[in-house]
Structure 1
Amino acid sequence: MHTCASVNYADVVGREFDREIVVEMLLKSGNEPTLFVFPIVGVGGTGKTTLAKLVYNDRKIVRHFQLRLWVRVFKVDELLEQIVKSVREDICENLDMNELQNLVRKALHEKNYLIVLDDVWNEDPVKWDELKKLLMVGACGSKILVTTRLEEVASMMGTVPAYCLKGLLSEDCLILFLRNAFEQGQEVLYPNLVGIASDIVQKCEGNPLVLEAVGSSLYKKTEESLWNEVKNHWRWNSNQYDTAALRMIYEQLPSNLKVCLAYCSIFPKGSVIEIDKLIQLWVAEGLISQSSNESEDLEDIGIQYFQGLLSRSFFQEVEEYRSIFTSICRMHDLVHDLALSAAGFEFCTVTSHIQNISDEVRHVAFSDYDLSGKELPPSLLNNHALRTISFSVDGIGPMSTLYVENCMARFMQLRVLDMSDSCFDELPSSIGELKYLRYLDISGNGSIKELPDSINKLLSLQTLRVSHCAQLEGLPKDIGNLISLRHLHITTKQACFPDKAIGCLSSLRSLFIYSCNNLVSLSEGLQHLTSLRTLAIIGCPRLIFLPSAMKHLNALENLLIVDCEELALLEWQDIEGLRMVRSLVIGGLPELESKDVQCLGSLQMLVLAGLPQLDTLPRWLEGASVTLQYLRVERCPKFAALPKWLENLSSLEKLEISKCSTLFSWPERMSCLSNLKVRRIDN
């Protein structure tokens, strides 16, 4: 899907020369009769995407092109959808192909644009020709930049010879490696290790991904024997040094992180991964072990696991609340290949071409399979030990209730059942027989009207996602019986939630309320959710106020209120529970000002988005002057000035401002923000 094209220049080593060449190519004037397509080609991990981001954000490029778009997926319909959404924020979901094509033509018509198609794998010339015809409506001088591992793709798409991206120079390799292996400046204390590092980087062949991963694996490890062990590891002799190096790092992982990484193979290659969902899946599959501190939530331990893999470069492009609603990341294609290899026979993507599925398979993802039928693959029918069924690979779930019923009847040991983006109209009552089920996702189903009462028998269920189910009348009246439920994502037609429904879910850690168009009030039963840590209210246009019961949410750490057009936050200073809130996301509200709020003393992160009347930062933010680390303001057209008291935000590390066209200057004393590491301005 669409990915953020921002880049921290301080993190990039040794690509200045490459950037200048690509920028020069894209700025060449010419009257090309056909679309100008410039490919960047290189092996996995060499930094093609990073280079494309440097080019995309280059000042000359920004000034030259009227419109810049960054798109990662190369399925024509998804690509068109992302182009449209990049230009128009008011576009609804589920447009048909003709509507998409017309909107793309309007969006690009006679505009001088640059489109980056990142990480293209599709070698189908027919689909490329189909797309190219649509894109040729731009002004003369429009350009397309393509990144790909495949020379065949570069040859098919390019209208000029591809730029072959090579590895980094030796001195740049050492800089990048040492940056990941040591805290800043600490390498001078260990000259012997720096000498060993020089030998290690020669084996990495200039590949930035490998350099970062191997360097990270040695972070804060100062025993020479460990460094020599890495230098002399037998895997360096493999013909595929990149995957061999990642495999070497994988072998050093603790066993709990190994299984969690292997499980990530359930996600499609190149996909955006929702971090909360990943951790909930790990918990559901029993991959998270309780620590000696029994009061510590499994989700907290899961975050530690994620951070452990992130610190070794197994995840990348982490964006906190980049989508407003959740934090996301990606997994590099080479790491995904490693995860698949590590999963072995336990994981299988089932396609229409696969005939024989091993009895050892425990986790199944359906892709390119006829989901309109009623039959399961014959070789899967007797696998009664199956733990996971996911239909989310292609964004298309099952269409037949009978098909779903067959799944439930056959696989009684399921822990995870992901049927998101389905269109079956009834969830079979047999769902109640899956007594081991811990994770159920039927979000994005536009047909289902009710959930069977038998769902209340799922006493092991930890995560229930029924968001964006526009026809769902309501939740079962006895949903409070789900004593193990920790995460609930809902969309219903209800005007209010009964006190004895959600209010009885005392184990609930997160509650996401999406697109409840009739919702007028939240239940006072919220007062019983004393373990609730995340509350998100998104797209509820008739909601007028927050209930006083929120003052009892003493564990609340994350609060998101987005696109609630009638909701006024005038009395929220009375919500005592806010004193624990660490991240606050507010968007699409008519007003934001309130009395001075002094209870935000723990706030670390604030996102303000789509606030048409916001002209400066709210005064109550001063209450978080010692704690606030991340501040983002976006799509606020009247936002004209940053206040002078901004200099009091002594802990601020990251400041981002996007699509605030009225803002022209910074306060004079920005230099007082001594902890500021990132300052990003866009549009």
Structure 2
Amino acid sequence: MAESFVLLDVADSLLGKLASYTYEEASQAYGVYEDLQGFKDTLSIVSGVLLDADHKKDQKHGLREWLKQIQNICYDAEDILDGFELQHKRNQVVKCGSTKMKVRHLFSSSNPLAFRLRMARKIKEIRGRLDKVVADGTKFGLASFDSGLIMQGREMTYPDVDASSVIGREIDKDEIIKLLMQPFPQRGDDGDQSICVISIVGIGGLGKTTLAKLIFNDKRMDDLFQLKMWVCVSDNFDIRQIIIKIINSATASFFTSASAPTSGLAYPENITNLDIVQLVSCMRQKLSGQKFLLVLDDVWNDDRAKWIELRDLIKVGPPGSKIVVTTRSKSIASMMGNVPSYVLEGLSPTDCLSLFVKWAFKEGKEENYPNLVEIGKEIVKKCQGVPLALRTLGSSLFSNFDLSKWEFVRDSEMWNLEQKEHDILPALKLSYDQMPSYLRQCFAYFSLYPKDHIFNTYVMCSLWIALGLVQSLNGSEKLEHVARNYIDELHSRSFLQDVDDFGSSCEFKIHDLIHDLALYVAREDFVAVDSHIQNIPPQARHLSVVENDSLDHYLFPKSKYLRSILFPIHGVGLASERVLDTWVSRYKYLRYLDLSDSSIKILPNSLTKLGHLRFLDLSRNDRIKRLPNSICKLLNLQVLLLSGCIELEELPKGIGKLISLRRLIVTTKQSTLPHDEFASLNHLQSLSFHDCDNLKLMFRQQLPSIEELHFESCGSLESLPLYIFPKLQTLFINDCQMLNMSLNNESPIQKLRMKYLMLMNYPGLLALPRWTVGIADTLETLLISDLPDLEMLPECLTTMFNLKRIYIHNCPQLLCLPSDMHHLTALEDLRIVDCPELCRKCLPQSGEYWPMISHIKGIFIEEPRGEAE
């Protein structure tokens, strides 16, 4: 039951907050410690019960309603807990304010005594609600379970396969067999000959196990290896059990081989009672002296120590033995493999159609139904090359010749179709179930975006942080860094594709089937609003609006539960100030409000009622001239985006009160900025200026919290003293042609901590500024684009031993690379585009620079036009 699993994540997140030092200290200060502890104890019991609810897969209506009640209580409790944080910030602002402000605070409902009484009443009320719901839950016969006891696992696999039933994997099979037939001269860290490990990696349902079976049963493997073993590892990487499986598989291989005796021998006695020393001895005896092939299928273990322990135990016998690993995780594939991983792609369109037809029709019968085959071609597109999805949809239509049924499958999202135990969504959900709780919560938010959407790390990380889904384990790591690690982990688990990593940020997409999985687990809490939506469930928590004509005022729920409203499509925005007034008055617990591309002229003062708001996007609102000063009372606000607000005359007065602000993007007509206000923003990490045509000067006093600085189309900007940003890591400058690029050209050149430098659209720049010497020790990404007069790269480039990425675009006068480029051993990605002479010199094999750049893992050189003719 997906809702109980998602609810478990919500409950676990709430328990984490209750256990934190911040809430414990606040609860004691306000005299509600005992009540919160009682609520926490009851919630802990509920978490175990939720696991049982998921385990039983009970679909009774009463149980579903019971789960919804618990979910509502958890969300209400989180709103109450966040009230502590908001009160603390109000007190901070009051302490720094005037006497008049302090007197006003004393007589307001926010003063400590009034707040204490109100919070105590709310906590007692919510604890009573939870106690009652837990008592009601006994009628469903649920018990408390330990999470480790019911983790859903995949069934054990076996090596047998009917090769004739497999379509489209001949090339993949041959490529891996070539790798298996090659010698492996690499030595391990201990100096011994290391065993070759080849990893096959890809999303669930792609056919990794089937491919491994084809390889395992190929006759060339019988000639190459004296012993073949198949072990399904699955989610429990228990070394003892794996050794037992290896021994049993080796024994079975012996008795089924052509050279095995036909009589006089029996299978060995049961080995499960042997201790680990005896098992290791038995296994080594089986493997010793024989060149073997071992397939470790379906590996989920990411504990490197466990893998090395197993690898060292089986590293016996003559050279040439090989291990093939199948896994859904890129990081596991990299950890286990010692040759480049084989990333399995989807089937070709032709093979997809052949496989679908094979499962949808009896052999040859498709010729009688050309109209259904045409619909089938459209159905195949939604499977995006994944064999299990093709089998799932083909099987669901087998021997069904009703046109309406085929059209229903074609037009429905995958998650709306009936799924059997071994179909595509259950297979993909296994990957979801195996994720840690914090990733499962974050993953569901992909459902708010349309298919084929290009995601940006900034947007997704800001959304997760605003909704409280990102927690720092040690309390000191920045939430943005933690959230970025979440992105990297999802990528490692094959949930992301087409990832374009620029270092400081990246863009990516998700597979259509992964999007369907997100819809499946998100259920009614997450709704993408379009013209087809007839009503929005009252319990919806997160909405995205993907079509302008779907903004019916009466469509939106009257409940107070909404936490986020998004407009994820550029050009789609809010046109009605009346609808905005309704939202502000109704949804007082909003954390995330995206009003980008709207045509609002005046923001209501009532916006200050959104005390929980953490993210406000007003980008590309070209009618707004002023923001209400009251917006500065949003003390929880972490992100404020004003890019493209081309009529905005100035920033609101009192912006320094936004003490939680972490990211600010500004478009304004101002020529100078309020220095003192910005100096108060102690948590501001990312500051950007877009289309600020009148802005001439930056600040003069230090802004020690700034880590990212962006300037785009600021045509009047003249100077930028870098020394006032001592923690600066990212600098992006695009189309700021009045800017003196010497910046801080003092001597000696100041050491900086910059990791990412991007310079774009700057005619007249002959060489990069001297201050780049000061970032030689730290720079990881260098991007230069549209510098038509640039003639040389700095000499210090070849001393940048941490440099991972170099992107050079449209620098036609740049003719050469530094001669010591081969010293950049950390360089992983080199892209050179629209630099005719330099591209010619860097061409693979033939270019004169190729020998000194060929070691780089990822190289993209756009061959000059006419070169290949």
TM-score (norm 2): 0.52
Residue 598 (structure 1) aligned with residue 770 (structure 2): no
Which of the numbers 665, 671, 682 marks the counterpart of 2:851?
A: 671
Q: Which residue of 2 aligns with 1:659?
A: 834
Residue 169 (structure 1) aligned with residue 170 (structure 2): yes
Which of the numbers 249, 252, 255 marks the counterpart of 2:434?
A: 252
Q: Which residue of 2 aligns with 1:202?
A: 210
Residue 276 (structure 1) aligned with residue 458 (structure 2): yes
**Within 5 Å, which residues of 2 pair with 1:606-645?**
606-624=782-800, 626-645=801-820
2:783 is paired with a residue whose SS is strand
Q: Which residue of 1 aligns with 2:710?
A: 536
Point out the more displaced range, 245-254 or 457-466: 245-254
**Contact 1:593–1:618 (8 Å) recurs in 2:** yes
Residue 551 (structure 1) aligned with residue 726 (structure 2): no
Kindly provide the amino acid, as one letter, of the partner of residue 808 in structure 2.
V
Residue 564 (structure 1) aligned with residue 736 (structure 2): yes
Equivalent-residue separation in structure 1 for 2:509 and 2:326 (angstroms)? 31
Residue 398 to residue 620, structure 1, CA distance change in 2 (3 Å): same
Kindly provide the amino acid, as one letter, of the partner of residue 513 in structure 1.
F
**Residue-by-residue CA offset, 1:62-111 (whole Å, 9 max, x unaligned):** xxxxxxxxxxxxxxxxxxxxxxxxxxxxxxxxxxxxxxxxxxxxxxxxxx
**Structure (1 or 2) with the greater helix fraction:** 2
- 1:577 shift after superposition: 7.1
Kindly provide the amino acid, as one letter, of the partner of residue 856 in structure 2.
L
- 1:503 shift after superposition: 2.8
- 1:519 shift after superposition: 1.0
Residue 199 to residue 455, structure 1, CA distance change in 2 (3 Å): closer
Residue 365 to residue 338, structure 1, CA distance change in 2 (3 Å): same
Equivalent-residue separation in structure 1 for 2:512 and 2:612 (angstroms)? 33
Equivalent-residue separation in structure 2 for 1:192 and 1:559 (angstroms)? 38
**Contact 2:528–2:544 (8 Å) recurs in 1:** yes
Which of the numbers 641, 661, 665 marks the counterpart of 1:465?
A: 641
Residue 571 to residue 175, structure 1, CA distance change in 2 (3 Å): same
Which of the numbers 578, 583, 589 marks the counterpart of 2:756?
A: 583
Equivalent-residue separation in structure 1 for 2:598 and 2:625 (angstroms)? 13
Residue 570 to residue 364, structure 1, CA distance change in 2 (3 Å): same
Equivalent-residue separation in structure 2 for 1:565 and 1:343 (angstroms)? 47
**Within 5 Å, which residues of 2 pair with 1:177-576?**
188=195, 201-202=209-210, 217=300, 238=420, 241-291=423-473, 293-321=474-502, 326-370=505-549, 376-378=553-555, 380-393=556-569, 395-525=571-701, 527-528=702-703, 530-547=704-721, 550-574=722-746
Kindly provide the amino acid, as one letter, of the partner of residue 437 in structure 2.
S
**Residue-by-residue CA offset, 1:389-437 (whole Å, 9 max, x unaligned):** 1123463101122221111111111000011111111111111110000
**Residue-by-residue CA offset, 1:317-373 (whole Å, 9 max, x unaligned):** 121349xx95211111111111111111110112333233222210011233536x7
Residue 648 (structure 1) aligned with residue 823 (structure 2): yes
**Residue-by-residue CA offset, 1:426-480 (whole Å, 9 max, x unaligned):** 1111111100000100101111111111110100000111101111111112111
**Contact 1:174–1:201 (8 Å) recurs in 2:** no
Residue 308 to residue 215, structure 1, CA distance change in 2 (3 Å): farther
Equivalent-residue separation in structure 1 for 2:642 and 2:771 (angstroms)? 37
Equivalent-residue separation in structure 2 for 1:341 and 1:613 (angstroms)? 53
Equivalent-residue separation in structure 1 for 2:206 and 2:732 (angstroms)? 47
**Residue-by-residue CA offset, 1:632-661 (whole Å, 9 max, x unaligned):** 110112222223233333322211101112
**Contact 1:649–1:673 (8 Å) recurs in 2:** no
Residue 454 to residue 184, structure 1, CA distance change in 2 (3 Å): farther
Q: Which residue of 2 aligns with 1:87?
A: none
Q: Which residue of 1 aligns with 2:360?
A: none
Kindly provide the amino acid, as one letter, of the partner of residue 510 in structure 1.
S
**Contact 2:169–2:211 (8 Å) recurs in 1:** no
Residue 573 to residue 216, structure 1, CA distance change in 2 (3 Å): farther
**Contact 2:562–2:587 (8 Å) recurs in 1:** yes
**Residue-by-residue CA offset, 1:496-520 (whole Å, 9 max, x unaligned):** 2120232321101111111111111
- 1:255 shift after superposition: 0.9
Equivalent-residue separation in structure 2 for 1:477 and 1:199 (angstroms)? 59
Equivalent-residue separation in structure 1 for 2:445 and 2:213 (angstroms)? 29
**Contact 2:686–2:709 (8 Å) recurs in 1:** yes
1:599 is paired with a residue whose SS is helix
Residue 632 to residue 203, structure 1, CA distance change in 2 (3 Å): closer
Unaligned runs of 5+ in 2: 1-165, 189-193, 215-234, 236-296, 311-324, 329-387, 393-418, 865-869
- 1:264 shift after superposition: 1.7
**Contact 1:390–1:417 (8 Å) recurs in 2:** yes
RMSD: 3.7
Equivalent-residue separation in structure 2 for 1:184 and 1:632 (angstroms)? 34
Residue 328 to residue 276, structure 1, CA distance change in 2 (3 Å): same
Equivalent-residue separation in structure 1 for 2:614 and 2:632 (angstroms)? 13
1:631 is paired with a residue whose SS is strand
**Contact 1:587–1:608 (8 Å) recurs in 2:** yes
Equivalent-residue separation in structure 1 for 2:185 and 2:639 (angstroms)? 41
1:644 is paired with a residue whose SS is coil
Kindly provide the amino acid, as one letter, of the partner of residue 296 in structure 1.
E
Q: Which residue of 1 aligns with 2:48?
A: none
Equivalent-residue separation in structure 1 for 2:185 and 2:719 (angstroms)? 48
Equivalent-residue separation in structure 2 for 1:577 and 1:657 (angstroms)? 30
Equivalent-residue separation in structure 1 for 2:199 and 2:695 (angstroms)? 65
**Contact 2:537–2:557 (8 Å) recurs in 1:** no
**Contact 1:556–1:578 (8 Å) recurs in 2:** no
**Contact 1:348–1:363 (8 Å) recurs in 2:** yes
Q: Which residue of 1 aligns with 2:383?
A: none
1:584 is paired with a residue whose SS is strand
Kindly provide the amino acid, as one letter, of the partner of residue 693 in structure 2.
N
Equivalent-residue separation in structure 2 for 1:658 and 1:318 (angstroms)? 19
1:523 is paired with a residue whose SS is coil
1:501 is paired with a residue whose SS is helix
**Contact 1:447–1:469 (8 Å) recurs in 2:** yes
**Contact 2:719–2:740 (8 Å) recurs in 1:** yes
TM-score (norm 1): 0.65
Residue 344 to residue 596, structure 1, CA distance change in 2 (3 Å): closer
Residue 193 to residue 514, structure 1, CA distance change in 2 (3 Å): closer
Q: Which residue of 1 aligns with 2:332?
A: none
Kindly provide the amino acid, as one letter, of the partner of residue 252 in structure 1.
Q
- 1:241 shift after superposition: 4.1
